[in-house]
Structure 1
């Protein structure tokens, strides 16, 4: 039995990443890309924004929908960019500009003041109104310059705790075991498994 689940994002990187994360645990789940309208993310937390997106995708497609909201939270910036990570440098959601702005903001900070973590909150919304939320955090620090070509977003400037290379230098298999997104999706695997009957 195969169950179709739509991932409420227009980001192809996230679709592929989720497929790699879920495939070993849930071989019966087929993750589909979402092609519907993007809702306005006007929540004040990662959880609120994830639920907004999941509800919209479930309503539009009539399928179970998963959405995540994630970002990098820098301690010395009071947890920012946080929910504003995707548009830190402006509404264009330019990943390179976001990364460069954050590096510039932390340029004078020594390593001990560059602590940060990635946060991810995943929401599952079913067409019958059932909802579940899972979350994960990935601690580390912001590097002084970008390194690596894997991953996306802030990965090239994030040094995970316990590693000597950036998140963008990790292999996909390693990242998909330890990242904030992997931990958050792991939290809703029991709910997804229930869909398989």
Structure 2
């Protein structure tokens, strides 16, 4: 069977490939939305107010356009002290557009500004990833979940670092660590490291995206 792994983020793609590549031994192919394919597709509008809702919109939209079974992701970070924000707006929290080199620092700076004065004990947060699978239209594939989109959720608990914990307190939005992307340099795990200080394989084993992928494979292989 041929499945389409739908994401426009090279970082998410690398993480999903790393996890699903090991777990999805029974899948013939995990294809991606490469540049050539994406040019002929219309990106589904992500206007739901939950990760589940947006993942379903993407999976269903791409399945209808491509005639393929699609796995789509929606993910982000929820911070307790600010009512679960940024949530589904994690990627566009600051309003800055462009490359990740511009967007990520702006998002991180806004998050730290929002948490100014919030003590360590109230900086709890979690990464959330929802994977949605929508079967190819008319597919009789026994592994597909049927006409209804299947969703699975993975989470990783942690907290947001204090500015004083950054590698350079004069640049707190840079956080700590050079691996990862997005809010990883600000996301402190229970062992005191940030997600950006993990090696890729270690992150795959711990991450919200890895947890969701393993849950998905468990559901499909029942």
Q: Structure 1 unaligned runs (5+)? A: none
Deviations 1:67-101 (A, max 9, x none): 11111100000111111111110162722211111
Specify the alignment match of 1:125 in structure 2. Answer: 134
The CA distance in 2 between the partners of 1:82 and 1:113, in whole Å, is 17
Specify the alignment match of 2:9 in structure 1. Answer: 11
The CA distance in 2 between the partners of 1:123 and 1:7, in whole Å, is 10
The structure 1 residue matched to 2:205, chosen from 152, 177, 181, is 177
The CA distance in 1 between the partners of 2:51 and 2:110, in whole Å, is 21
Q: CA deviation at 1:4?
A: 2.5
TM-score of the pair, normalised by structure 2 = 0.80
RMSD: 1.6
Question: Is the CA contact 2:128–2:153 (under 8 Å) kept in the aligned structure 1?
Answer: yes
Where does 1:118-197 land on structure 2 (aligned, <5 Å)?
118-128=127-137, 129-144=147-162, 145=166, 146-161=175-190, 163-193=191-221
The CA distance in 2 between the partners of 1:168 and 1:119, in whole Å, is 16
**Secondary structure, aligned partner of 2:74:** strand
Query: Who wins on radius of gyration, i.e. which is larger?
Result: 2
How many residue pairs get matched?
191
Question: Is the CA contact 1:150–1:171 (under 8 Å) kept in the aligned structure 2?
Answer: yes
The CA distance in 2 between the partners of 1:109 and 1:190, in whole Å, is 39
Deviations 1:105-152 (A, max 9, x none): 113222111111111111001113342110011100001231111111
Q: Structure 2 unaligned runs (5+)? A: 138-146, 167-174
**Secondary structure, aligned partner of 2:30:** strand
The structure 1 residue matched to 2:91, chosen from 86, 90, 102, is 86
